[in-house]
Structure formats: C-alpha cells, structure tokens
C-alpha cells in the first residue's frame, strides 16, 4: 500500500509536528510577490472530487501549483463518474496515467481507505463522508499555533453536528494526541455517547454554556443537512440552543479563538457578528489551508 494521508487517527504525533513545522516555513510565501517554489516540479497531482467543494479543492490546486507540480482537477459531474463508472474503475483509469498522488474527496466514509488497498498511488484524503478530513485538522492546528505557543493543555469546545462531522473526528484525534481537553457539544441526536471513547480527553455535554466555559478555542461546525436522512433536531430549535452568539463569548477565555471549517451558515450555527468579530480566525484557517496542504503534498511526494 502506498503511503498517503488517509486520516489523523493513524498519523503519529511526530508526523503531525513535522507537517506543522514545514507548513510554518510556507506561511510567509503568501505575502511574497513570487509565491512559487519548484520543489515538486514535474510531478503530477490529480484532484478527484466526488463531492462539491470550493475551498478544499481550490486550496489543494493552489498548494500544488505553488510547489511547481501539475494539478488536474476532476469533479464528479461532467466526468465518467456521472456515466455510471464505478469508483474502482475510475481510479484504475486515473492510476494508469501515473499521477504521483491522488487527492480525493468522496461522500462515502472510507472510500479512500478502500481504494488504497488496491491502488499503488498515494491517496490524500480531502474528506471522506462523515469520517475524516485530515488536512482540515492540520490547518486548524496551524491556525491555533499562530495564536498559542503550543497545542498542549488547551481546552477546546467543538460544537454542533458532531455525528456527521469529519472535521470533528479529525480534530478530536489531532488535539487528543497533544493532550488537549476536548468537550463536544450538541443535541443528543447529533452527539452519540460513544463519541467520548474516540480519543483520550474527550467529554460530552448537551449544554452549550457548559461547553464554552473557560475554553481557549471554540470550533463551530456546519449543520450538515445533506447528510441527515431525517431531521434529528428541529431546525427552528438549533440556533436558539446551539448557535454561537456574542453573549456566549464572555464565558470562554478572553482571548478565545472562534473557528469554523466553512462554509458558514450565518444565523444558523453562528451569529454574523461573531463570525466577523476580532475573536474569529475563520479566514486565517482558509489562508493556512494552502501552507498545510503544501507541507502534506511535499511530504507525500518526496
């Protein structure tokens, strides 16, 4: 099996630290006029997106180009995928074109894990169903490190649709490897009790105020209506009980960071003024996505 990046759960802490350190090297590039390095010149990356994505796909494309690699992006509509070709056949076809890595997003949990057992090409998971989104957790960690000396002993609240969130799972695994205290918060129908066993240092609450109490970081999650078979929680009840509003912020540490993986739904899980506030680092997350993905691509292809 080729070594790619399928998830944070199986990535050792030392590897995460190495990726984050390398991403820090790439951060200043954003503000230079020549943003291009030639570290991966001549390499080819295929971005295969079976699920709609703007920021992740663009971010991977930019990261590849800044490293001098060639990047081809394929989306599910307008390709053989929409003609009924199976996942295995599509990937075998692409692998026959000898890319150096495949970046893949898929609506089915485990799709990249399944493929990695059959394909020689390294696969980078850009989000699989409700399972993992490893580069999101890495860019979140980089964003926290822009404001904090270390990830150790942080208190982090992750709030919202936990059960359907790959961002939550990857962040839980990452933060736990650094010894953070993690509190997961949401209505019971979106927060299964087993979530507490996912990693050391995780606890659960259904009460938002309790979750935020004294935390360093608040990670809000998008309500994933497209992943829910039914409505596990009435939409009208969501914002009053689990939407992050200005009046919540004083419960946390004064320098709390407010994060969101995007796209944000203003007025559904987060108030507009909180998303735009001084405490929000949502746009820093987007910016850091490029540096983190450069570090990941470089590591996997070298």
Partner 1 sequence: MSKLLIRNGRVIDPAVKFDGVADLLVEGDRIAGYGKNLDVAGAETFDASGMIVAPGFIDMHVHLREPGFEHSETIESGSRAAAAGGFTSVCCMPNTQPVNDSATVTSYIVERARRHAVVNVYPIGAITKGSAGEELASIGSMKRAGIVAVSDDGKPVMNARVMRRAMEMARSFGLPVIDHCEDLHLSAGGDMHEGFTSVKLGLRGIPACSEDVMVARDILLAEVTGARFHVAHISSKNSIAMVKHAKAMGLPITSEVCPHHFALSDEDIIPYDSNFKMKPPLRGRADVRAAIDGIVSGAIDAIATDHAPHPGSEKMQEFERCPFGILGLETAIGLSLEAFVEGGRIPLAKMVELYTVAPARILNLERGTLASGRPADVTIFDTSLVWKYDVNKSYSKSRNTPFHGREFRGGPVATMVNGRFVWRRDKE
Residues in contact with partner 1 by CB under 8 A are: 9, 86-88, 106, 108-111, 113-114, 128-132, 163, 166, 169, 192, 194-195, 197-198, 229-230
Q: How far is the CB of 193 from partner 1 (least distance, A)?
A: 9
| CB closer to partner 1 out of 169 and 222 | 169
List the Cα angle 191/197/198 in 5-degree steps.
Answer: 80
| CB closer to partner 1 out of 180 and 199 | 199
Please say if 268 is a catalytic residue.
no
| CB closer to partner 1 out of 191 and 295 | 191
Q: How far is the CB of 132 from partner 1 (least distance, A)?
A: 7
| CB closer to partner 1 out of 202 and 218 | 202
Q: Which of 43, 106, 133, 166 is catalytic?
A: 133
Close Cβ partners of 238 (under 8 Å, ≥ 6 residues apart)? 223, 268, 269
Q: How far is the CB of 184 from partner 1 (least distance, A)?
A: 11
Q: How far is the CB of 192 from partner 1 (least distance, A)?
A: 5
Please say if 253 is a catalytic residue.
no
Q: How far is the CB of 73 from partner 1 (least distance, A)?
A: 21
- CA dist., res. 267 & res. 263, Å (int): 13
CA distances from 204 to 80, 94, 156, 190, 196 (A): 43, 42, 12, 11, 6
Please say if 203 is a catalytic residue.
no
- CA dist., res. 175 & res. 168, Å (int): 10
3-state secondary structure of 29: helix
List the Cα angle 52/55/59 in 5-degree steps.
Answer: 120
Q: Considering only CA atoms, which of 111, 99, 148, 123 is closest in space to residue 259?
A: 148
- CA dist., res. 159 & res. 274, Å (int): 15
Please say if 105 is a catalytic residue.
yes
| CB closer to partner 1 out of 130 and 135 | 130
Q: Which of 11, 56, 121, 143 is catalytic?
A: 56
Active site residues per annotation: 55-56, 83, 105, 133
């Amino acid at each position: 099996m080729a070594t790619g990046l399928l998830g944070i759960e199986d990535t050792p802490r030392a590897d995460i630290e190495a990726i984050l350190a390398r991403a820090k090297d790439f951060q200043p590039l954003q503000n230079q006029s020549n943003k291009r390095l030639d570290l991966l010149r001549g390499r080819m990356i295929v971005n295969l997106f079976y699920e709609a994505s703007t920021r992740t796909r663009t971010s991977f494309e930019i990261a590849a180009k800044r490293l001098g690699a060639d990047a081809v992006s394929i989306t599910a509509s307008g390709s053989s995928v929409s003609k009924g070709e199976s996942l295995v056949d599509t990937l075998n076809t692409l692998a026959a074109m000898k890319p150096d890595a495949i970046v893949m997003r898929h609506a089915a949990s485990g799709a990249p894990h399944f493929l990695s057992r059959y394909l020689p090409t390294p696969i980078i998971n850009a989000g699989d169903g409700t399972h993992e989104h490893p580069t999101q957790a890495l860019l979140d960690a980089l964003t926290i490190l822009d404001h904090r000396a270390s990830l150790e002993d942080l208190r982090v609240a992750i709030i919202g649709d936990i059960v359907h969130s790959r961002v939550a799972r990857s962040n839980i695994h990452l933060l736990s490897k650094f010894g953070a205290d993690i509190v997961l918060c949401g209505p019971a129908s979106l927060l299964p009790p087993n979530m507490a066993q996912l990693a050391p240092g995780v606890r659960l609450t259904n009460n938002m105020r309790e979750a935020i109490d004294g935390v360093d970081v608040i990670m809000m999650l998008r309500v994933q209506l497209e992943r829910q078979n039914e409505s596990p929680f009435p939409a009208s009840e969501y914002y009053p009980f689990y939407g992050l509003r200005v009046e919540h912020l004083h419960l946390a540490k004064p320098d709390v960071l407010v994060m969101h993986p995007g796209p944000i739904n203003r007025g559904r899980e987060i108030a507009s003024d909180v998303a735009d506030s001084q405490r929000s680092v949502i746009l820093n997350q987007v910016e850091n996505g490029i540096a983190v993905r450069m570090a990941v691509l470089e590591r996997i292809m070298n």
